[in-house]
């Protein structure tokens, strides 16, 4: 495992600091500066390949939308590719692709990002494109463009959720786990009625509030010199005026007063049960132990749920566990799809039993080592590309205020003990109120998991 990690680090252009034999450290040199308008610029110089990644994060996602205005953050991701004052309609894609580069954007509850990777001699073009839409998107916005992208997003919701097997269970779980006034109650994709009601003034107001340089950070990583990046950033981003001050969000963990159970009918063949517990936000001290718990319980073919329900009992079609920590709150979820003829109640009971065992005994040394190795391997592989490093730098800066937290982040997971895993299972899962959502074939509500006299 150590040799594999070293090879991945070398391929990613990451230096390894000498240190303890059991814990290699990463060195990702960065230079950070801030423009007068509040834009933070982070440069990572890496001449291992003649490419450069330009990665812009805006600290806004669906978690900063207002009730009745869901989906605006994601809608704006689409609008940002429709042309700006000096960039023609749909030309952003054309310019980058004709240069041999790649680009895209993504939105989640806590941030929206845009990125390009191009040959390093096209750095100036990539920065100009990002600056033009940051400063001059509204100059080119029209009702026609808004209507077009509104329909695109509505169709995306139909494709990925409404017409996808088990797709609506993801949306419904968020609604059940978080109260109506919590920003995670609604999905990032938004609601159809909110998207339909989105007016030009609503959209412009959203842009003016959140798409300002003082609510953004720019990472330039790859075959560049910091002095060149500073000069180009001042040239293209410097003239953009700062927006109004944006308050930083604070964690809003939730607590359920009692168990919540619901049945969702869908056009599916096999029934599925999802069980979700409120948990802590990202970067909380218990975040790494919850991740290790999820790994041991239900990630991969050696996990406890897979070994029991799929391999040994052959009762389930699939079984997984995950911990999702976000900026405001987190959740721990287990999802099991039953095989035909197996009840969801049986699946639910098995989940509680396996969680109870881990809470009482903890993971074995072999399980914990495997979980840690998997976490470290995934971490390093995420840094194998220039874009991967740029995105991680922006994530650290946006949520922690410091871009180079690679070693601190790794150290949190390396420090998890078996007792930590036992403790978080007891603290957040065993005997704690949770949501049980059964998704069953249409007209077969009797297949839903039934309330139990005793739950963990």
pLDDT at residue 25 in the model: 83
pLDDT tens by residue, 353-367: 999 999 999 999 999
**DSSP secondary structure, 344-373, as one string:** HHHHHHHHHHHHHHHHHH---HHHHHHHHH
Q: Residue 14 pLDDT > 60, yes or no?
A: no
- Give SS3 for 224: coil
Choosing from 31, 45, 65, 77, which is the catalytic residue? Answer: 77
Helix axes 365-381, 2-11, angle to 10 degrees: 10
Residue range 2-17: mean pLDDT, rounded? 50
pLDDT at residue 22 in the model: 47
Q: Is 77 a catalytic residue?
A: yes
pLDDT at residue 16 in the model: 45
Mean pLDDT (the chain) is 93
- Phi, psi torsion values for 297, nearest 5 degrees: -75, -45
- Phi, psi torsion values for 67, nearest 5 degrees: -55, 135
pLDDT at residue 456 in the model: 54
Q: Residue 11 pLDDT > 80, yes or no?
A: no
Q: How far apart are CA 79 and CA 280, in angstroms?
A: 33
Identify the band that residue 20 occupies on the pLDDT scale cut at 50, 70 and 90: very low
Q: Residue 159 pLDDT > 50, yes or no?
A: yes
What share of the chain has pLDDT > 70, as a percent?
94
Residue range 232-255: mean pLDDT, rounded? 95
pLDDT at residue 90 in the model: 86
pLDDT tens by residue, 317-340: 999 999 999 999 999 999 999 999
Identify the band that residue 190 occupies on the pLDDT scale cut at 50, 70 and 90: very high
Are 222 and 389 a contacting pair, CB within 8 Å?
no
Sketch out the chain's domains with CATH numbers: 28-236 (3.30.830.10), 260-447 (3.30.830.10)
What share of the chain has pLDDT > 90, as a percent?
90
Q: Residue 80 pLDDT > 80, yes or no?
A: yes
Q: How far apart are CA 320 and CA 305, in angstroms?
A: 7
Q: Kindly state the tokens that stand for 7.
A: 């090879």
**All residues at 6 or more sequence positions from 91 whose CB lies less than 8 Å from its CB, including other chains:** 83
pTM of the model: 0.93
């Amino acid at each position: 495992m150590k040799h594999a990690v070293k090879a991945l680090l070398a391929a990613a252009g990451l230096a390894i600091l000498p240190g303890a034999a059991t814990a290699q450290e990463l060195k990702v040199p960065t230079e950070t500066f801030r423009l007068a308008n509040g834009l933070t610029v982070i440069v990572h110089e890496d001449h291992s390949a003649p490419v450069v990644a330009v990665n812009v994060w805006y600290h806004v996602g669906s978690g900063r939308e207002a009730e009745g205005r869901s989906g605006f953050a994601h809608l704006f991701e689409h609008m940002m590719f429709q042309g700006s004052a000096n960039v023609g309609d749909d030309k952003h894609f054309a310019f980058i692709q004709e240069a041999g580069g790649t680009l895209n954007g993504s939105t989640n509850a806590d941030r929206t990002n845009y990125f390009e990777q191009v040959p390093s001699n096209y750095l100036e073009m990539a920065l100009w494109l990002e600056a033009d839409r940051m400063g001059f998107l509204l100059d080119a916005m029209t009702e026609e463009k808004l209507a077009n992208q509104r329909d695109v997003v509505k169709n995306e919701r139909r494709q990925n959720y409404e017409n996808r097997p088990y797709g609506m269970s993801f949306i419904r779980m968020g609604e059940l786990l978080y109260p109506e006034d919590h920003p995670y109650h609604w999905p990032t994709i938004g609601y159809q009625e909110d998207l339909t009601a989105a007016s030009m003034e609503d959209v412009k107001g959203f842009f003016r509030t959140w798409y300002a340089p003082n609510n953004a950070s720019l990472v330039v990583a790859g075959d560049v010199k910091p002095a060149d990046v500073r000069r180009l950033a001042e040239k293209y981003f410097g003239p953009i005026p700062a927006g109004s001050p944006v308050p930083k969000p604070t964690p809003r963990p939730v607590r359920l007063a009692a168990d919540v159970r619901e049945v969702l009918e869908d056009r599916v063949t096999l029934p599925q049960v999802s069980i979700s517990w409120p948990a802590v936000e990202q970067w909380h001290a218990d975040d790494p132990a919850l991740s290790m718990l999820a790994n041991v319980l239900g990630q991969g073919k050696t996990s406890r749920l897979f070994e029991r329900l799929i391999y040994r009992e052959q009762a389930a079609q699939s079984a997984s566990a995950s911990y999702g920590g976000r900026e405001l709150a987190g959740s721990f979820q287990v999802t099991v799809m039953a095989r035909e003829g197996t009840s969801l109640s049986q699946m639910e009971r098995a989940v509680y039993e396996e969680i109870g065992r881990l809470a009482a005994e903890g993971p074995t040394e072999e399980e914990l080592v495997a979980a840690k190795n998997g976490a470290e391997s995934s971490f390093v592989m995420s840094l194998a590309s220039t874009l991967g490093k740029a995105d991680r730098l922006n994530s650290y800066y946006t949520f922690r205020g410091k871009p180079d937290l690679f070693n601190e982040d790794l150290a949190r997971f390396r420090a998890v003990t078996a007792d930590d895993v036992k403790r978080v299972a007891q603290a957040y899962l065993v005997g704690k109120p949770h949501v049980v959502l059964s998704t069953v074939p249409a007209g077969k509500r009797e297949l839903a998991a039934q309330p139990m006299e005793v739950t963990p």
